[in-house]
Amino acid sequence: MKPNPPIDLRFIVVDDENKIIYCTVPKVATSTWKRILGDLRGLKQGINIHQWDLWRWLYQYTEEEWTQRLQTYFKFVFVREPLNRLLSAYKNKFIGKDRR
């Protein structure tokens, strides 16, 4: 069962070994970046990279710990242009892959 993290911290992955913080955004290359981070950590190929307990999440640290990490780790996030994202979601949900 997944824990219920604070909403503002629940999508932030922390990689202490490589000093990286990644803010995941659904449908913006999340799987690709989790695979890359998994490779950096030496995780086995073929595992479910979306497995919740595979990652350390920022909310799992104390405020002092996450403040220190936010000040010193490399941080990144990727976003999509909003209208392009809206069109993509519409096609995915209402048109279907066979009719694009």
This prediction has a pTM of 0.76
- Residue that has been written with the tokens 């976003």 in this structure: 79
Which residues, other chains included, contact 38 with Cβ-Cβ below 8 Å and sequence gap of 6+?
Answer: 47, 49, 54
The predicted-structure confidence for 30-47, as pLDDT tens digits, reads as follows: 999 999 999 999 998 888
Q: Are 53 and 60 in contact (CB under 8 A)?
A: no
Q: How far apart are CA 20 and CA 73, in angstroms?
A: 5
Residue 100 clears pLDDT 60, i.e. is over it: no
Q: Are 75 and 18 in contact (CB under 8 A)?
A: no
How much is the pLDDT for 1?
A: 45
SS3 content of the chain, % helix, strand, coil (to 5): 45, 15, 40
Give me the mean pLDDT over the 55-60 stretch: 94
- What percentage of the chain reaches a pLDDT higher than 90? 53
What mean pLDDT value characterizes the chain?
A: 87
